[in-house]
A and B are shown apart, each in its own frame.
Chain A
Amino acid sequence: AQKITQTQPGMFVQEKEAVTLDCTYDTSDQSYGLFWYKQPSSGEMIFLIYQGSYDEQNATEGRYSLNFQKARKSANLVISASQLGDSAMYFCAMRGDNTGNQFYFGTGTSLTVIP
């Protein structure tokens, strides 16, 4: 069975500081992808970053980086230099090679950036 766990329902960070949002996963697939999405209050889902299970380097996209620790089955999102516009829900998701095109989402973390 595939499962994504996000244990932080809510997080606060001071503007310009870095913040780490936790994500652990469980899968029996050998090959899989990990994704992070941002959902502002408007409801749209914005793709942030992708990490493949066989990628040796951690993915980075601008201020977003993914701290991938395969042995620990964790894929934490790091946001550097937080901005007020980063306040949103953040979802971790996984897609495996044997899951028939399904995506599995965590319950999300609500991030609030404090001025």
Chain B
Amino acid sequence: DGGITQSPKYLFRKEGQNVTLSCEQNLNHDAMYWYRQDPGQGLRLIYYSQIVNDFQKGDIAEGYSVSREKKESFPLTVTSAQKNPTAFYLCASAFPGQDRQQYFGPGTRLTVT
């Protein structure tokens, strides 16, 4: 079955540690996205990538980094510079075109203490 996988579902880290969230898709989508969602809030774009080896900052990129070495993979690193990293992180992918929907992964809930 085609889809997007994010692992792990729950992640716990100590403050000051970098942590990498995994996102893999087998939908052959060109574009991939990372969103952050805080409780009761909407989605905020962190980074997105339209093609391999290229990515753009979203609205809240500070304290985060990404890579896109393969079409299928778009890992997100939450660095120690991110002041409030505890949140729900959603990865998504899509084909180009304004009529194409985004497909989302199940999300990773990160807790930093």
Residues of A at under 8 Å CB distance from B? 29, 31-33, 35, 37, 42-45, 47, 50, 52-53, 91, 93, 95-97, 99-103, 105-108, 110
Contacts and interface: CB of A to CB of B under 8 A. Distances in A.
A31 B107 contact: no
B80 to A, nearest CB: 25
Interface residues of B, number: 28
Contact of A105 (B42, B96, B103): B42
Contact of B99 (A33, A103, A110): A33
Interface of B: 30-31, 33, 37, 40-43, 45, 48, 50, 56, 58, 88, 90, 92, 94, 96, 98-104, 106-107, 109
A101 B94 contact: yes
Nearest to A48: B101
